[in-house]
Amino acid sequence: MAPGPLAQVLRQLPTVEDANLLTASIHFADAGVYRIADDCALVQSVDFFTPIVDDPRTYGRIAAANALSDIYAMGGSPLTVMNLVGFPACLEHDVLVEILKGGAEKVKEAGAVIVGGHTVEDDEPKYGLAVTGLVDPASLVTTAGARPGDVLVLTKPLGTGIVGTAIKGGLASPEAAAAAAASMTELNRTAAERMLAHRARACTDVTGFGLAGHALEMLAGDGPGLEIDAGALPLLPGVEEAAGMGLLPAGLARNREHYAPRVEIAPDVPMVLADAVHDPQTSGGLLVALAPKAAEALVAELRGGGNGHAGVVGRFSEEGPGRVRVLAG
């Protein structure tokens, strides 16, 4: 659902008052967190979507990695999972078997357990997970907490929406399609574990609202301003070519329109990067706010472990509170 209509719906719902609901006051929490003991809380999230790649098993892996990501963004560890399936009666059951096998592979990699699920007949395939995890409330990381002087680390390249549009149009190269799939199937587990070790102040994952939209979630209320260095943004292979052909997902335009009042893009930022900051991501990376030295150490560890895309992409400041400025760098 587009961010504008979703916000209108949510504003009309009653607020929940429960001292154990630790995310009650956080407007843009990635998951719900409910305390069950002084040192233990449940972290719960759900996500599902239609296929964005042709291979059923790869689709299952991507959908599972995407759903698990919200738990990681909160500093939690996935514990149990339930499959959510919509499936057309006209499709071969072998397709669903492959989807579920792909999801199961990622759940196992995450160290979680599939305990059940639910299926409905639908006009097109849909798959995802309802995930329950655990977190020590003392280690909980939310979208709130970034301070002026902190820096912003991004752990995966951008462009899954743009490359996905090219894939659907049959215009993505095999190399670009493979790189996008590899990025989307990668769990955010390692990045989450390392951000906790380096005392992350705030975190979210980059998904449907794009980099700019999710970065704004870290500036809610009395939050600081944020300057993003467009030149530091990592892009997937094939993004520049696809964007140059106008292969932009509809969600990108919706994000750009909705966030325009709070996102300023400098005129000298290359168009592909101006598009990339609003590109809706699937199973995107983590956005982590840390003190500068901690960010340097985090990036070094992630790159040393084989993540060549992790890097500092922005800085929080006292200027323009609650706004994102994208500069050419």
Beta 225-229 vs 77-87: how paired, if at all?
Answer: unpaired
The pLDDT, as a whole number, for residue 74 is 97
194: Cα separation from own chain's centroid:
17
**Given CA atoms 86, 205, 193, 322 in this order, what sign does their dihedral have?**
negative
Task: Tell me which H or E stretch contains 167.
Answer: helix 160-168
Q: What is the average pLDDT across 131-145?
A: 96
The pLDDT, as a whole number, for residue 316 is 97
pLDDT of 7 above 90: no
Task: Tell me which H or E stretch contains 250.
Answer: helix 250-259
Reported confidence tier of residue 10, pLDDT bands at 50, 70, 90: confident
* DSSP, res 28: T
pLDDT digits (tens, 9 = 90+) for 263-297: 999 999 999 999 999 999 999 999 999 999 999 99
The pLDDT, as a whole number, for residue 62 is 98
Dist CA 249 CA 251 (whole Å): 5
| Lowest-confidence pick of 4-8, 118-122, 197-201 | 4-8
pLDDT of 262 above 90: yes
The pLDDT, as a whole number, for residue 101 is 98
The pLDDT, as a whole number, for residue 25 is 83
Could you give all domains of the chain from N- to C-terminal order, each with its CATH number? Answer: 3-139 (3.30.1330.10), 151-327 (3.90.650.10)
Helix orientation angle between 210-217 and 250-259, rounded to the nearest 10 degrees:
40
* DSSP, res 177: H
Dist CA 263 CA 217 (whole Å): 12
Reported confidence tier of residue 27, pLDDT bands at 50, 70, 90: confident
DSSP-assigned states of every residue in 104-165? HHHHHHHT-EEEEEEEEE-SS-EEEEEEEEEE-GGG---S----TT-EEEE-S-B-HHHHHH
pLDDT of 225 above 90: yes
CB count in 10 Å sphere of residue 233: 23
The pLDDT, as a whole number, for residue 2 is 75
Q: What is the average pLDDT across 14-39?
A: 91
pLDDT of 139 above 80: yes
Mean pLDDT taken over the chain: 96
pLDDT of 250 above 80: yes
Q: What is the average pLDDT across 54-77?
A: 98
The pLDDT, as a whole number, for residue 53 is 94
